[in-house]
Structure 1
Amino acid sequence: MVNQILFPNLGISLTVQESFRVFGFSIYWYAIIIVAGMLLAVLYAVKMFPKKGLEQDDLFNMFLIALPTAIICARAYYVIFSWNDYKNNLWQIFNIRGGGLAIYGGVIGATAVVLLYCTRKKISFAKVLDVLAVGLLIGQAVGRWGNFINAEAFGDPNRPTHLPWAMTILGVAENVHPTFLYESLWNAVGILLLLLYQKKLQKADGELFLTYLAWYGLGRFWIEGLREDSLMLITAPIQIRVSQVLAGLSVLAGIIGIAVLRKKAIQKGAEHVAKGL
């Protein structure tokens, strides 16, 4: 499939193919971009694990169990909240080549199996999460460009925008927010903020992941409100978007968690001072 994507106010017109063929097989750019994001995230983790006193063998073991779990959970999350699109054709549930993966489902699934692994191996779950926080943002920042290729995850056509970067998809939507781009940029800024926070402000293990929850949740809550294809928890009498609920909970969990860790760090520091006296 070919998508014609324009940014009229910028004079940009792009013809984007969703896939290409190699030896008769269709290869989807969406899948390539998602894999590229994962690989960049893993490369970052490979570099950071030794610095946190963690073993790289454990990283690869976690990756091998977290990757399929994340894909299954991301798909399951999407299908559950889009059940009307699949209930009459169940085989389509297994067709993920063209998209239909929900980030929150993947993050929840991957985090759960990493927790189980860390518990069994007696590894610091908080340290692992701090590494994964930056890796997740790397993967998400890159992965959102898969939505661009598929011409999906854009703003609501019923609420057009006339901002300079308004996007038009011929035959689909006109003058909509490029929400895939908003989230990609938000995540890219988040990477820089987390790296700076880690270097200058972090007081306890786990703080970086909690900062990720708060930052990503804040951005996702805002961006989700602009999107046309949100998964809905309730549609009447009011619309409640699933991702906005989770985003709001993420922000609260992040802020409260950081406050708790900071308080413990201050108390621990005071105890050390008292012992020194």
Structure 2
Amino acid sequence: MVLDISSLPLAFQFTSPGPILVRIGPLTVRWYGLLIATAVLIGVSLSQYLAKRRNVNPELLSDLSIWLVIGAIPAARLYYVLFEWAEYAQRPEKIIAIWEGGIAIHGAIIGGTIAALIFAKLKQVSFWQLADLVAPSLILGQAIGRWGNFFNSEAFGSPTNLPWKLYISPEHRPSGLENFEYFHPTFLYESLWNLMVFALLLNLFFRGVSGKLRLKVGTLIMVYLTAYSVGRFWIEGLRTDSLMLGPLRIAQVVSLAGILLGLAGLAWLYLRKRPLPDVVASSN
């Protein structure tokens, strides 16, 4: 798979080395797994740092990360498999082959949210505080994880001749589009969008803890939900491999629901007579 931008003034081109990073005897290390592991490690460290700035015990975030992984990854796979059941019913041994790709971020969000709610209840801490501290790490992890799609030759868009067009080898081209060579690199679009959302969340976070901005606990997770869903909605419209329910692209339906829920949540936080408390400015 080649990301071709050869027509740009400073031309260069790079080629995906494929899904496998290295083989050591019977052990195979895949880019997809490495990127997920990297995203988790960076995310935990970042969440712990942000927790300190909000005067929250960072060990809570360390413990929560285990719950999130246990809740999110199986749910992400289950979500994907359910909507692709016609294919997996023919090859049930592939259901657990998560290293080959095929996880859905919306499934991960659902599973992670359930895990976080249970964790918060057991630890008797604020779910909204935890969600705020995880939100920047979550969107950064999504930005990193999208590059797994590049190595796996998946999650690309419709054919295009734009300068940043993506070359897809014949064996990975969708049915009916075999004669097209170049496609929209939608994995890249979403990665860049997620990085912008990450920058927005960090800006809000630090303005909140510095006292420069009146920020309610719960604001960051609602901004995440709204902003990510806006980007995912339009990017999903370009993809050729969307999970479908009849004529509907599932990710677009869920994204639209996410936008409405995020906006409603922000209205609840700032217009309700007894909303969640303000973020306390850091003493650091």
1:188 is aligned to 2:214: no
Q: CA deviation at 1:265?
A: 7.1
TM-score (norm 2): 0.86
Q: Provide the alpha-carbon RMSD of the alignment.
A: 2.0
Question: CA 1:13–1:48 in structure 2 vs 1: closer, same or farther (change >3 Å)?
Answer: closer
TM-score (norm 1): 0.88
Contact 1:7-1:168 within 8 A present in 2 as well: no
Contact 1:233-1:240 within 8 A present in 2 as well: yes
- Give the 3-state SS of the residue equivalent to 1:33 in structure 2: helix
2:215 is aligned to 203
Query: Cα deviation per residue 1:171-198 (whole Å; 9 max; x = unaligned)?
Result: 2352211000000000001111112223
Amino acid at match of 1:181: L
Query: Cα deviation per residue 1:49-90 (whole Å; 9 max; x = unaligned)?
Result: 122232222222211122022110000000000001101221
1:213 is aligned to 225
Query: Cα deviation per residue 1:3-54 (whole Å; 9 max; x = unaligned)?
Result: 4554454552414221120133211111101111111111101111122232
Contact 1:129-1:206 within 8 A present in 2 as well: yes
Amino acid at match of 1:248: L
Amino acid at match of 2:182: N
- Give the 3-state SS of the residue equivalent to 1:27 in structure 2: strand
2:30 is aligned to 28
Q: Distance in 2 between matches of 1:203 and 1:220?
A: 25
Unaligned runs of 5+ in 1: 270-277
Instruction: Map residues 59-74 of structure 1 onto 2, 5 A cutoff.
Output: 59-74=61-76
1:154 is aligned to 156
Query: Cα deviation per residue 1:219-269 (whole Å; 9 max; x = unaligned)?
Result: 0000000001100022xxxx2011101100111111111112111379899
1:253 is aligned to 261
222, 235, 253: which one pairs with 1:223? Answer: 235
Amino acid at match of 1:255: L
Question: CA 1:60–1:258 in structure 2 vs 1: closer, same or farther (change >3 Å)?
Answer: same
Q: Which shifted more, 47-56 or 72-81?
A: 47-56
1:166 is aligned to 2:165: yes
2:19 is aligned to 18
2:251 is aligned to 243
Amino acid at match of 1:108: I
55, 58, 61: which one pairs with 1:56? Answer: 58
Contact 2:197-2:228 within 8 A present in 1 as well: yes
Amino acid at match of 2:252: Q
Residue identity (%): 38
Question: CA 1:70–1:21 in structure 2 vs 1: closer, same or farther (change >3 Å)?
Answer: same
1:81 is aligned to 2:83: yes
Question: CA 1:15–1:62 in structure 2 vs 1: closer, same or farther (change >3 Å)?
Answer: closer
Unaligned runs of 5+ in 2: 174-179, 278-284
1:274 is aligned to none
Contact 2:139-2:197 within 8 A present in 1 as well: yes
Amino acid at match of 2:162: L
Question: CA 1:28–1:202 in structure 2 vs 1: closer, same or farther (change >3 Å)?
Answer: farther
Query: Cα deviation per residue 1:135-168 (whole Å; 9 max; x = unaligned)?
Result: 1011001110111111110002xxx222221111
The structure in which a higher percent of residues are helix is 1
Question: CA 1:77–1:15 in structure 2 vs 1: closer, same or farther (change >3 Å)?
Answer: closer
- Count of residue pairs brought into register by the alignment: 260
